[in-house]
Structure 1
Amino acid sequence: MPMTASLTRRDDALVFSGALDRAAVVALWPQASAQRAGVARFDLTAVTRVDSAGLAMLAELADGLPGARVEGRPDGLDELRAAYRLQDDLSFAA
C-alpha cells in the first residue's frame, strides 16, 4: 500500500513525506500555503516520488522565497526540474 503523503513544519522547513502526486497536492496545498511564511528549506528526504503536480506545488511554494533550498532527491524530481527548466531552488532558469 502506498505511503500517504504528509507535511509538517519544522523550524524553517516544510517537511514532506510520501508521494507528492496530484492527490497529495490537493490534500496538502491548503496546509502548505498557510505555513509558507519564513520557509528556507523544503525537506523532501522522506518523499518517495514527485510528479508534475507535486513539482508545480513546490515551485509555487518556493516562489518569492529567495534562497530556499530543496533537500533530498526523490524519484522524478530531477527529470521534471530539467523538463520545466527549473533550477535547484525551483526558480526558472534564465
Structure 2
Amino acid sequence: MASNTPAPATLARDGDALVFTGALDRQAATRLWAQLLDAAGGASVQRIVLSQVTTVDSAGLALLAELLARLRAAGVSPQLQGEPPGLAELRSAYRLTPELEFPA
C-alpha cells in the first residue's frame, strides 16, 4: 500500500550547488538547518536547486529566504533553480521577489 506521507527532505552539495529534495516543511527546516550551514560554507554556492522538492510550506520558505540572505550578505548571489509546489503562492503571500527578498 502506497503512503501519502511526503518523502523527507534531503540536502546535498553538488559542486557549486546546494540540491534539495523532498518536502521542505517545518520538520525538514529544523532538521536541515545545521547541515545547511555546513554545506553553504567553503566554496561559493552559485545555485540552489529545488527541482526535486515536492512541496514547500512557510517554514521551508523561511529556510530558503534565510539561506539566500546569508549568502547575499557574504557577497554571493546564487540562482534559484526549480519552482516546487507551494513556492509561488507563499512568495506572493509574503510579498517576496523571485529571489526571496522583500522588495526595497
TM over 0.5: yes
User: Which residue is equivalent to 1:79?
Assistant: 89
Q: What is the aligned counterpart of 1:54 among 53, 57, 60? A: 60
The TM-score normalised by the length of structure 2 is: 0.83
User: Which residue is equivalent to 2:38?
Assistant: 34
- Distance in 2 (CA, whole Å) between partners of 1:45 and 1:58 is 14
Q: 5+ unaligned residues in a row in structure 1: which ranges? A: none
The Cα RMSD (Å) is 1.2
**Aligned pair 1:14/2:13, yes or no?**
no
AA paired with 1:57? L
The TM-score normalised by the length of structure 1 is: 0.92
How many correspondences in the alignment?
94
User: Which residue is equivalent to 1:91?
Assistant: 101
- Distance in 2 (CA, whole Å) between partners of 1:25 and 1:6 is 10
The 3-state SS of whatever aligns with 2:62 is helix
% same residue: 51
Question: What is the deviation of 1:53?
Answer: 0.2
AA paired with 2:51? T
AA paired with 2:8? T
Q: 5+ unaligned residues in a row in structure 2: which ranges? A: none
